[in-house]
Amino acid sequence: MKIALIGDGKMAQAIAPLAVERRHAVTVILGKDENAAGNGISRERLGNPDLAIEFTEPESAAANVLACARAGLPVVVGTTGWYAELDNVVAEVNRLGGSMFWAPNFSLGVAVLSAAIEAAATALRGVSGFDVHLVETHHAAKKDRPSGTAASLAAIASGGMGRDVPITSVRTGFVPGTHELVIDAAFEQVRLVHEARDRRVFADGAISAAEWLLGRQGVFTMRDLLQHSEDGR
């Protein structure tokens, strides 16, 4: 598979060597200076790839995705913090008959954590005496607060419990990403935690999403990938 990387930051630098290890070719790593408002995106400028993987900035993501859709290019989107525009982008991608895979986090472990939180929150619905709080920690350079993953996990917990779940965001050092749901009562505590040890876990997941997306039409998430994997398809 030929992959174009939109964004030249840390994630692109992590994805490129892993893609080559997995016998894919990287046609281009497109930086911000070459791609104002998505204007640098076309099949020709990207080296005629089979698919694009986008990790940029929140203010750039929607334009990049739409440019890919207009070019008939499937796109995996790892940028977070732009989800206020998500519904409109999804509608346009579907209108154009495009192909998009988006996720706030490409770790399979986080997908498992999401399922565990959903089960725990549902079990606690209507049970008194438990306080629930989500704590997320990321590197100091991360811009969105809370992270897209934290917001997604808190929404899952809130939906299961029927009440708001607060989020505390910590930005420090070089932490790739830690998410913890704390379920606390007077005499006991349950903690559900996912800790990313290396940024490459997200790169590996993004490449797996790209491999899965190729040949499919529509808008997909990690839930779709896991469900189809369980079904053997």
- Buried b / exposed e over 183-212, threshold 16 CB at 10 Å, is beeeeeeeebebebeebebbbbbbbbbbbb
SS3 content of the chain, % helix, strand, coil (to 5): 40, 25, 35
Task: Read off the amino acid at residue 96.
Answer: L
Q: What CA dihedral angle connects 71, 72, 77 and 83, to 10 degrees?
A: 80
Sheet strand arrangement including 131-138: 167-171, 131-138, 177-184, 189-196
- The set of catalytic residues is 138, 142
Cβ proximity of 146 and 167 under 8 Å: yes
Q: What is the spatial distance between Cα 205 and Cα 128, in angstroms, rounded to a whole number?
A: 38
CB of 9 within 8 A of CB of 61? no
The answer to whether 59 and 14 have CB atoms below 8 angstroms apart is no
CB atoms within 10 A of CB 39: 11
